[in-house]
Amino acid sequence: MRLQLERQQAGLFPSQREYTNLFGITKDRLKRLNRNYTIMHPGPMNRGVEITPEVADSDSSVILDQVTNGQAVRMAVLFLLSGKKEEEGR
């Protein structure tokens, strides 16, 4: 998820650089993983802080699809979870 600096009254991290070093998704970190992975982020993201641009724009990334379809997918999931059924005859 995006580091929301605008919502922090007091910084939880001394700097964005520290956050990136501890938690940022980088190409070097991905080298340690199984090759079968998908990069996901609901957006908006802080490029260069949470995730490097090369990772965000890689072939393994579905971030743009998530941003494009996110609201419709969330609405469908909430509808299904609410237990409502479509009216007959529609």
What global pTM score does this model have? 0.64
CA distances from 85 to 13, 72, 78, 82, 88 (A): 46, 18, 12, 9, 9
What spatial distance separates the first Cα and last Cα of the chain, rounded to whole Å? 38
Fold (CATH) for 5-82: Rossmann fold (3.40.50)
CB-based contact 45:18 (threshold 8 Å): no
What are the pLDDT digits (tens) for 34-67?
778 899 887 788 888 889 999 999 999 988 888 8
pLDDT digits (tens, 9 = 90+) for 4-32: 666 666 666 677 788 888 888 999 999 99
pLDDT band at 1 (very low <50, low <70, confident <90, very high): low
